[in-house]
Amino acid sequence: MAWATGIGCARSEHYAGIAGIANAPAGGMASALNWLSCHCNLDYILASRPKPENDTLGKRSRVAIICVLRHSFWMLHYRLGWDMPSFSRKKEASSTSDAAASNPADCTDARLTCVYAIVSSPVRLWGIDAQTRLRRQVAQLPNLRWVDDWREAGDAPLLIVRADYLFEVRTLKALAQQQDVALYCGTDQRAAALQLTQADRTQALHWLDERPGEPPEGLRKITPEALSHFDAKLRRTEVPLLEPMLAERREQLESLLYGNSYKGITDLVTKWLWPAPARQGVRWCADRGITPNAVTTLGLLLVLGASVAFWQGHYVLGLAMGWLMTWLDTVDGKLARVTVQSSRVGHLLDHGVDLIHPPFWYLLWGVSLVNFQPVLGLDMTMINGLIVGGYVGGRVIEGIFVRTLGCEVFSWRPFDAWFRLITARRNPALVLLSIGVIFARPDLALVAVALWTALSTAILSVRLVQGIAQRMRYGPLQSWLSDSDQAKERYPRSFRTFANTRAAYAGMESGDAETGELSSKQRPLREWLRQRSDGTEDSNDPTVAALLDVLKQRFGDSLSAVLIYGSYLRGKRDTVLDFYVLLEDYRALPWWQKMLCCMVAPNVYQIKAQCDGNEVRGKCAALSMRRFEHAVRSDFHSYFWARFAQPSRIVHCKDEATRNRVIKSLANAAHTFVSRALPVLPQSLSTRDLWIGALQRTYRSELRAEKPGQIDALVDSDPDYFQTITLLLEIPALQPESNGKAGQWRTNLSVAARRQGKREWWLRRHLGKALTVLRVTSAATMFEASLDYILWKIERHSGVRAKVNERQRRWPLLFAWPLLWRLYRSGAFR
């Protein structure tokens, strides 16, 4: 009570300022916070708190808290975009904007663009219908104004958008900066929006409604690729979102919205641990109409609860509340973005809590260490100084960097992006504290946080000095992600890691994380693959048809698609047929097979059928469609994308949407295969040399048993396929030779990219051996006479024969390993 009384009596002349904060408008809130940070007698407030004789916190800790609070109020100005010295000018500009908003037709300010929507869509994404989503997006952009009748725009620029397409805020923002353009969607190649400055509006409106032929005269065609890719706010680079809103793609579009709401450059916990759990939280909140501000408020309560727990030395409870709060901190931001409910109050609450609470957690953690003994010569006062000084210094450096040098420090160079994963922010610090509690050394955990905070700030100081030197020599700094093509070529691994957070796109069709750009480039490739992968003729083969019937009975409604590949497509009919079965889910599998498929996909089964009175056999590998899509695009190991870069045919598909997903996956497999093989291939090579060299690498990474010359025969069996698919891939690092000779290529890769590629293939080769053993072990639990089949395949491909005894045949997992080792020593595996 005494503390509360002290707050209430902290100088009567401050009452007016305190009372004004609650009712301050958006701009007035900045002034109120500025007043609070500069005039509130925080030392008097802290002194009013009753203190025991042995004040553990001490005067220096109270001074540290004052510094943190004042610094936090200052940083809020930067985070919320408020300019402290020029509030009066901002207020005047706001009044002008309000006047324009009240009558758009009277506005002649070129910065104000009116937005008018036509058509509609019944598809609701994250619980929001298309019209509501567009209205909320427009409301977030100060230079855009929604109109219910396009004539209300008067002479102001006008955006006409089709509400049956999905936009994001930065798509509308970038389109408003264009002049007289028709924006085409890269997915369906049809117009989705118009920007009209001088073009005839009546004619353009009718054309966009029907979209017959080419756009009216005076409008130029662009796609989202022509708009800016770099999102400085979320520190990521992606083609601005523009997708048709189709009911059958609702889940994919929601995943796309969620993935696009995720920062590309962030800490390791947020980037790799929280995407999937936070998605479930966002879904739960969106379905129940829970607002982002409600989630943030719950997070604030957890912050206070964790603070008390740390103060009292209840570390496990405090960490539990702390980690839950970090999860909610991820949920509220993503919920606000996918439901377009961002607000100034929510922004203030979210960033204010995030900015202020971490050092208080550490200080209160230290307060609980009543028997603390100095570590490395550091007593509690020095540790508090390192924590507060390092934290405040680090955040001040971040603010100075972006305000004076032109970009955020963690977006400047790839090093900064990697450093952001582990820099001394709340989540990495919680990792250190959790490790300390696990090993029953909370004192060492706090010391680790203090030292890492100080070291992180020292590194940021060095980067600030380097940035200032760069700024003086070459002008404002630019993020390495601002030019996506250059970043992809110079820093391929960093680009794959930080261009977006791929884990946030889980559950969607592979490849949708790169909307527009990849879709348009791959369109000719996919159309060609649609023809080449058509397995209608193969499915009419009696042998294939009989085995397909067995697969349909075995997997039932879970069956999405079946592909055939391997020797059968090269004309060999006296062999076991190889099928790949893509499942919608695993409900048709026993629980232990589901577990194996999740750990080491795919599951391999032997299938038998009767055809014309004879028994025919096949081998099928089964996995989920979702896992297949992810594997052919993003897996580190080559097992999946190397197989499906080669010829394969779709012999069963449940619907056209599934066929499109499979074809896209085949295109992604070829793109991934060639892109990842280029760093270890010669600079000048033919199409044949490219595929032979790349396949040799993949065979070595899988313990493949093949005779010498087998790879050459595989490529020579269908040269048109390999020549055409290489030409259609359009990989920037693979360009035709300047001499114009068909089938000759030159790779354009940096020395660093080649070194990185060689390291990755070395790792794939060693990792692949372990994965092969695991997959063989998994298959042995499901494959009838598995050892006989494996030995037959080895003999057929390598010519090395081995005899098996009855004990090895009955218990292969226990007794077959010496036999396989002898085969390995004999050269059966390469």
Q: What is the pLDDT of residues 457-494, one digit of tens each?
A: 999 999 999 999 999 988 889 899 888 878 888 888 88
Q: Which of 120-129, 598-607, 707-716, 743-752 has the lowest mean pLDDT?
A: 707-716
Beta-carbon contacts of 444 under 8 Å, excluding residues fewer than 6 positions away, are 375, 436
C-alpha–C-alpha distance, residues 642 and 638, integer Å:
5
pLDDT exceeds cutoff 50 at 37: no
199 three-state secondary structure: coil
Q: What pLDDT, on the 0 to 100 scale, is given for residue 829?
A: 61
Average pLDDT, the chain: 81
Bridging pattern class, strands 236-237 and 230-231: antiparallel
Residue with the two structure tokens 């009567």: 12
CB 185 within 8 A of CB 192: yes
User: 339 vs 46, which has greater pLDDT?
Assistant: 339
Q: What percent of the chain has pLDDT over 70?
A: 80
pLDDT exceeds cutoff 80 at 586: yes
| CATH class name, domain 103-261+499-512 | alpha beta
- pLDDT-derived band at 305 (thresholds 50, 70, 90) equals very high
pLDDT exceeds cutoff 50 at 46: no
Bridging pattern class, strands 158-162 and 113-118: parallel
Tokens found for residue 183: 């924006």
The arithmetic mean of pLDDT across residues 533-544, rounded, is: 93
The string of pLDDT tens digits covering residues 104-115 is 444 434 468 999
CATH 3.30.460.10 boundaries in the chain: 516-784
Neighbours of 406 (CB within 10 A): 16
Beta-carbon contacts of 176 under 8 Å, excluding residues fewer than 6 positions away, are 113, 141, 143, 144, 157, 159, 195
Q: What is the DSSP letter of 804?
A: -
CA distance readout (Å), 109 to 104, 149, 351: 10, 19, 32
The string of pLDDT tens digits covering residues 782-817 is 766 666 666 666 665 566 777 777 777 777 767 777
- pLDDT-derived band at 263 (thresholds 50, 70, 90) equals confident
pLDDT exceeds cutoff 70 at 11: no
Q: Which of 3-12, 219-228, 326-335 has the lowest mean pLDDT?
A: 3-12
CB 584 within 8 A of CB 558: yes
CA distance readout (Å), 710 to 713, 768, 797: 5, 20, 8
The arithmetic mean of pLDDT across residues 106-128, rounded, is: 79
- Type of residue found at 698: T
List helix spans (H) across 708-805: 710-716, 719-729, 751-780, 786-798
Q: Which of 88-97, 147-156, 258-267 has the lowest mean pLDDT?
A: 88-97
pLDDT exceeds cutoff 90 at 451: yes
The arithmetic mean of pLDDT across residues 619-631, rounded, is: 91
Q: What pLDDT, on the 0 to 100 scale, is given for residue 159?
A: 93
Q: What is the 3-state secondary structure (H, E, C) of 503-523?
A: HHHCCCCCCHHHCCHHHHHHH
Q: Which of 21-35, 170-184, 323-337 has the lowest mean pLDDT?
A: 21-35
pLDDT exceeds cutoff 50 at 369: yes
- The arrangement of strands across the sheet holding 559-565 comes to 603-611, 614-624, 577-583, 559-565, 648-653
pLDDT exceeds cutoff 60 at 86: no
Burial, 5: exposed, middle or buried (Cβ in 10 Å; 0-12, 13-18, 19+)?
exposed
- pLDDT-derived band at 719 (thresholds 50, 70, 90) equals very high
C-alpha–C-alpha distance, residues 581 and 625, integer Å:
9
Among 760, 764, 763, smallest CA distance to 749 is for 760
CB 338 within 8 A of CB 257: yes
Q: What pLDDT, on the 0 to 100 scale, is given for residue 17?
A: 40
CA distance readout (Å), 588 to 600, 623, 819: 18, 11, 34
Highest mean pLDDT of the ranges 250-264, 575-589, 679-693? 679-693
Residue with the two structure tokens 């603070």: 307
CATH for the stretch 516-784: 3.30.460.10
pLDDT exceeds cutoff 80 at 8: no
C-alpha–C-alpha distance, residues 807 and 812, integer Å:
8
φ, ψ of residue 500 to 5 degrees: the values are: -155, 180
CB 682 within 8 A of CB 528: no
586: left (phi over 0), alpha (psi -120 to 50) or beta: alpha
C-alpha–C-alpha distance, residues 676 and 699, integer Å:
14
Q: Which of 73-77, 187-191, 243-247, 562-566 has the lowest mean pLDDT?
A: 73-77
Beta-carbon contacts of 267 under 8 Å, excluding residues fewer than 6 positions away, are 420, 421, 422, 423, 425, 427, 428
Q: What pLDDT, on the 0 to 100 scale, is given for residue 521?
A: 60
Beta-carbon contacts of 223 under 8 Å, excluding residues fewer than 6 positions away, are 183, 184, 185, 186, 516, 520
Burial, 754: exposed, middle or buried (Cβ in 10 Å; 0-12, 13-18, 19+)?
middle
Q: What pLDDT, on the 0 to 100 scale, is given for residue 778?
A: 80
Q: What pLDDT, on the 0 to 100 scale, is given for residue 773?
A: 78
- pLDDT-derived band at 47 (thresholds 50, 70, 90) equals very low
Burial, 201: exposed, middle or buried (Cβ in 10 Å; 0-12, 13-18, 19+)?
middle
CB 761 within 8 A of CB 697: yes
Neighbours of 115 (CB within 10 A): 24
For Cα atoms 811, 815, 821, give the angle at the middle one, nearest 5 degrees.
Answer: 135
pLDDT exceeds cutoff 70 at 632: yes
Q: Which of 208-222, 381-395, 566-580 has the lowest mean pLDDT?
A: 566-580
Its pTM surpasses 0.85: no
Q: Which of 390-394, 655-659, 760-764 has the lowest mean pLDDT?
A: 655-659
Q: What is the dihedral of CA 393, 394, 396, 400, to 10 degrees?
A: 130
- Type of residue found at 483: D
Bridge-partner residues for 622, per DSSP?
Answer: 581, 603
CATH 3.90.550.30 boundaries in the chain: 103-261+499-512
User: 42 vs 775, which has greater pLDDT?
Assistant: 775
Give the torsion sign (CA, 817, 820, 824, 825): positive
